[in-house]
Amino acid sequence: MAKTIEAQIEKSRNLVAGLRKHLSSGIGGGVTTAEIEEMERNMVALAAANEECDKLRAELSVKVKNMNQLLTTAKTVYLEHKRTIKNCYPQEQWATFGVPDKR
């Protein structure tokens, strides 16, 4: 869970607990039970959304790692073939193979 979201959920829980405590004692401060319940629903929704984001981040991390491995492989193969072209053909023909480099 992200620290800022975790901190907000904890602050909200503390506020809800304090509001409920004072609401039952008659000192509501202008806050109604419905407002407190809505705040709790928002807090639960935020926690659920954050959990979903954490799962997506974990999936994305695996996919990014896989993509980076594929990129490394593609670069290696490209460099090997480019080197072959440069070693086997004169510079004037490199462009026909898609090798833009010049010595």
Give dist(CA 36, CA 52) in Å, integer.
24
Give dist(CA 88, CA 70) in Å, integer.
27
pLDDT digits (tens, 9 = 90+) for 38-94: 999 999 999 999 999 999 999 999 999 999 999 999 999 999 999 999 999 999 899
pLDDT digits (tens, 9 = 90+) for 37-47: 999 999 999 99
With the C-alpha atoms ordered 87, 91, 96, 100, is the resulting torsion angle positive or negative? positive
Rounded to two decimals, the pTM is 0.67
pLDDT at 30: 78
Cβ neighbors of 37 (< 8 A, separation 6 or more) are none
